[in-house]
Amino acid sequence: MAVRRALAILLLTNQAWAWNATGHRIASAIAYDLLTDKARRRVDASLAAHPDYAAWSRDTPADPLSRARAVFLAASVWPDEIRSDKRFHDDTRENAPPTPLLAGFPSMARHVNWHYIDVPISVDNAPSQPPQPPNALTELRRILKEINNQQLQVEAYDLPWLIHLEEDVYQPLHCVSRFLKSKPHGDAGGDNVYVTPGRNLHALWDAASGTDLSDSYVNRVAAEVWAEFIERNGRHAHASKDPGAWVSEGVQLAIHDVYTFGLDTGVRDQPIALTEQYQLNVHRIARTRLALAGFRLAAVLNDRFK
Ligand SMILES: [Zn+2]
């Protein structure tokens, strides 16, 4: 799947990656504001030790607290940004020459296959393939085990990945690949399902919380979805810290709320026209998922750094 998806990426422009940067920033804003003082100090110190800290802190507010929060939000999208950063190479592409190891980095790989796990959904008795490692689940489990246990440099590298991958698995299409007789290799998390509006099913879900990157938009939506979360769950909801459970939720959502348009997969010039009701449901679910992603990310960081 990794190779296949890498090929698809080469062929398509404007390929969708994950929650877009707006989605990551919203979830991260929620998480950061829920950190304990101790966890926050530790997270801030780790990110300050990352070799790309200077880029993250450029043009951020001068007061240390606002700056640290802005850095946390910037770090959450770093794993997507390195996909087009020439210092890094695509380790899933055959014969891609490795780029030189730079100071402070344990690896210069883009790790494009870490962002998702292709749990198979098979609906018309099509044979399916199990998820291949490495994937979002193997890496979340590894990082959760090794973080707080390693030297600062490793933790500094791991932390943006933990933030980003935790958030990615709350996008249900990061958890599945749907296998049909007409799609014997799976649909790569909806990348190969053509819909309108948007380019494909995956991209539609990625952008479900908007594309505005301004602090005012991100903070406003974060406050709104967090207030909705509190209204539904109260302030002392239980926070699952099990990445396997997070992924299972995503699979269930994919089955019940994503693939609700039958076995059709559309084609580029004849995409599936998604109803307004479908789009409203995408929007509604994205808001609940971003709040939950932020809530559980904070819980995990508070637990690791207590
Ligand atoms: Zn991602």
Digit-coded pLDDT (tens) for 136-182: 999 999 999 999 887 899 999 999 999 999 999 999 999 999 999 99
Digit-coded pLDDT (tens) for 102-126: 999 999 999 999 999 999 999 899 9
CA–centroid distance, residue 118 to ligand 1 (Å): 14
In order, the DSSP letters of the chain are: -HHHHHHHHHH-SS---SS-HHHHHHHHHHHHHT--HHHHHHHHHHHHTSTTHHHHHTT--SSHHHHHHHHHHHHHHHHHHGGG-TTSB-TTSTTPPPPPPPTT-S--B--GGGS---EEEESSS----PPPSS-HHHHHHHHHHHTTSS-HHHHHHHHHHHHHHHHHTTSGGGSEEEEBTTBTT--TTTTT-BEESSSBHHHHHHTTT-S---HHHHHHHHHHHHHHHHHHH-TT------HHHHHHHHHHHIIIIIS-STT---BTTB-EE--HHHHHHHHHHHHHHHHHHHHHHHHHHHHHT-
CA–centroid distance, residue 263 to ligand 1 (Å): 26
Per-residue confidence band for 13, with pLDDT thresholds at 50, 70 and 90: very low
CA–centroid distance, residue 228 to ligand 1 (Å): 25
CA–centroid distance, residue 68 to ligand 1 (Å): 22
CA–centroid distance, residue 249 to ligand 1 (Å): 18
Digit-coded pLDDT (tens) for 15-26: 445 689 999 999
CA–centroid distance, residue 42 to ligand 1 (Å): 24
CA–centroid distance, residue 52 to ligand 1 (Å): 18
CA–centroid distance, residue 168 to ligand 1 (Å): 5
CA–centroid distance, residue 247 to ligand 1 (Å): 14
CA–centroid distance, residue 79 to ligand 1 (Å): 7
CA–centroid distance, residue 274 to ligand 1 (Å): 24
Average pLDDT score over residue span 16-40: 91
Tell me what pLDDT residue 17 has.
Answer: 53
CA–centroid distance, residue 158 to ligand 1 (Å): 14
CA–centroid distance, residue 77 to ligand 1 (Å): 8
Average pLDDT score over residue span 38-65: 97
- pLDDT above 90 for 219: yes
- pLDDT above 90 for 95: no
- pLDDT above 90 for 240: yes
- The average confidence (pLDDT) of the chain is 92
